[in-house]
Amino acid sequence: MFNNVLLTLDLNTKASWKKALPQAIEMVRVSGGTLHIMTVVPDMGTPLVEGFFPQDFEEKAIAAASTALNKLVEDNVPADIKVKQHLSFGKIHKKVLATIDKTEADLIIIGAPLPDRIREFLVGSNADRVVSRSPVSVLVVRG
């Protein structure tokens, strides 16, 4: 079935993984594969915006995300599931797409809230970007 399932999640939004994580666990359990859980700490976007943040912001944000990801996996992934964690910093959809190759994922699972047309029009959706560019199947779990 699926040897490598990549679950992307937002550590700040439980809705991004509350329904998607159990789905990913079940798919990995049935297939005997590996669950790759990924989160991305987004970059500031531009040097102008970056100038408003403390010099060590990136290091602190990555350390906090690493701690939160470890806790999420420890608290929510059963011991019989083979799991690997992935943490990146940058543009979310680009980092997810790069991790597909790195993990040899054959399925991506993304938790996504119900569509908000105004927000999507203004800033777009990382889930949409991943779905439209992914070389492998993507399961979007609505939260």
The CATH architecture that domain 4-142 belongs to is 3-Layer(aba) Sandwich (3.40)
Residue 52, H or E segment: none
Q: Tokens 């403390």 label which residue?
A: 54
- pTM of structure: 0.85
- DSSP code per residue over 93-108: HHHHHHHHHHHT-SEE
Q: Where are the domains of the chain?
A: 4-142
pLDDT digit string, tens, across residues 58-86: 788 899 999 999 999 999 999 999 999 99
**For residue 5, pLDDT beyond 60:** yes
pLDDT of residue 22: 96
Report the distance separating Cα 75 and Cα 72, nearest Å. 5
